[in-house]
Amino acid sequence: MQKKDTFFGIVGLVNYLIIIFLNAFTDLGHKIIIQNTIFKVYDGDTLIVLTAIINALILLPFILMFSPSGFLADRFPKNKIMEYSSIFAVFTTLGITYSYYHGYFYVAFAMTFVLAFQSAIYGPAKYGYIKELVGVKFISAGNGALQAVTTVAILGGIIFYTVLFEGMIGDSFVYKENILIAVAPLGWLLVFSSVLEWFLASKLPNKMLEASKRNFKLKRYLKGAYLRKNLKIIGRKKEIVEAIIALSLFWSISQVILAVFGEYAKTNLGITNTIYIQGVMALAGIGIVVGSTMAARFSKYFINTGLASIGAIGLSLVIFLIPSSSSLVELVIVFMLFGIFSGFLMVPLNAQIQFLSPRVHLGTILAGSNFIQNIFMFSFLLITTIFAYYSISGGILIYSMFGVGMILSFLLLRRYSVMTFWAVMELVSSLRHSYTYVGLENIPSKGGVLLLGNHVSWLDWVIIQLPLARRVNFLMDKDIYYWKFFHTIFKKGETIPVSSRASKDSLKEAHKRLLNAKIVAIFPEGGISRDGELGKFHRGYELIKSDYKGVIVPYFIDGMFGSSFSKYKPKNKKSFFKRRKITLYFSKPISNDTKTDELKSIIQKLKDTHETK
């Protein structure tokens, strides 16, 4: 039996994730059936155009329903919106099944819009509910699980419905109407999934704490008054807007790649079996699961926005490789990487939007995010259609998406440059080290904090910073601070250069930052230990005036002595492939006028109590 304070112990979470799976699985199932039918019947430019149109039909309801869906998600319990939307999906899938059995291709094609309409109403409630259900503490884990489950549903839907589709028709049908009639029994699977989704949605707990008391007026909606007001709400926080724009560019790139890839593989690689086409693209789904899981793990202590920049750069490079991939195996690897970097980008940006959004406007902001993202995607698909109309090759379209990816990378690096640096450091260091942090609750969320502890390796500054959302201002040797290739990074990271011969100005700067409620870290030993024992503690930090509102937090780093980054190299080294276990202990806060002897005694006690022998 799981405890309530664990992530999967949260009441209703598993139920919610199953609902998310079924919703995506059903929506994707119908899309795959129509998309595979188009692939079997059409070629060349017509194939690209129709694929773009089917994707556009899915996007259009999110654009039209921006204001109503946001209003509903803020006005009513989100679990009820999901329940009633699921009922609507039951009737929609019944209509879709009817159109399959009668070979009504264009009706089934149009029903894609109706099913997407249900998802547009569903969307803000679905994404807003995760914050209400898991709280801020698990918001990154919640988004990681949400993204992973959605992706598994997409992946499963692609493979499941494509395999059944191919098994039912083979190569014996050439008319779209006959193909639909042959695969009509698949419609009942869509109906069953919708019924199960509705049943589970009716069991979700109501987590709404505060509801909007606004009334929805159709006249204001038709005049665009709600649109203007809601966009104004979104625009109140620049970082939310920038995150939405970044996600919009990402999804636009993805839509174009998905729209073009079928034609590109068919024309350039001669692939005609939809299992291979959809299977390769589905592997991006496996990559998203991996990437989302990793992003959630690296956001264990705070929302690691630096991962988004890494994701955008990696995504751009992968897109550049697609046209040069000459075999199915190469495409499998490329699309897997595409998914991993997508997960890196999506999880922190979605979590950041939810975290920064006021609870009372959460539904509106998430609906607005959907609106803006779908405007972007719709526009990109329109451009794709125009390119196809003028017979511009799929390869050129893919390279153009590489260019858009580089723009996205630039925007994210500009916003999250410091966080990106730390995300890279964490990714690299985690290859060799496993980190555990004890006493993080002892770091105040506000006010000045002076971190003082032992110094055993060149990586101590990395180890200290990784679990802290607040940026740490380190005092750094002046000679190292001015290293040619790292000076810009150190300056951007707000480090404070210090010289043993002239430390007065550095300590004044440290005092200034503590007055401004910053975290400042000093290694009182003045250098890296050569024997693993605590050396002499210098009194320099005592010269910092204690008139700031803050505390000293002592710490002890265990496990780094004897590593490749320490000054002591043991004769019997550990296996290169074995990750070193590092633990950082934070003691309870002490007065900011604590003297050297008392400080060293506290840290020595931490060492004696916890050090791994």
Looking at residue 268, what is its pLDDT? 74
- Residues in the chain where the model's pLDDT stays below 70: 1-5, 66, 170-174, 209-216, 218, 221-222, 226, 363, 500-502, 569-577, 613
Q: How far apart are CA 132 and CA 130, in angstroms?
A: 5
**Which domains, from first to last, does the chain contain?**
8-427 (1.20.1250.20), 432-610 (3.40.1130.10)
How many helices (H) and strands (E) the chain has is answered by 22, 7
Closest CA to 506 of 552, 480, 540: 540
Closest CA to 176 of 103, 273, 271: 103
436 - beta bridge partners?
583
Taking the chain, what is the end-to-end CA distance rounded to the nearest angstrom? 35
How crowded is the C-beta side of 127, counted as CA atoms within 13 Å? 31
Q: How far apart are CA 24 and CA 587, in angstroms?
A: 46
β-pairing, 580-586 with 519-522? unpaired
Q: How far apart are CA 141 and CA 134, in angstroms?
A: 9
Phi and psi angles of residue 522, each rounded to the nearest 5 degrees, phi first: -130, 140
pTM value?
0.72
401 secondary structure, DSSP code: H
564 - beta bridge partners?
none
Looking at residue 1, what is its pLDDT? 38
Q: What is the DSSP string of 577-613?
A: TSPEEEEEEEPPPB-TT--HHHHHHHHHHHHHHH---
395, exposed or middle or buried, with CB in 10 Å at 0-12, 13-18, 19+? middle
Looking at residue 585, what is its pLDDT? 94
Question: Is there a contact between 246 and 344 (Cβ–Cβ < 8 Å)?
Answer: no
Q: How far apart are CA 55 and CA 41, in angstroms?
A: 18
Looking at residue 173, what is its pLDDT? 65
Question: Is there a contact between 133 and 207 (Cβ–Cβ < 8 Å)?
Answer: yes
Consecutive H or E run containing 497? strand 496-498
580 - beta bridge partners?
433
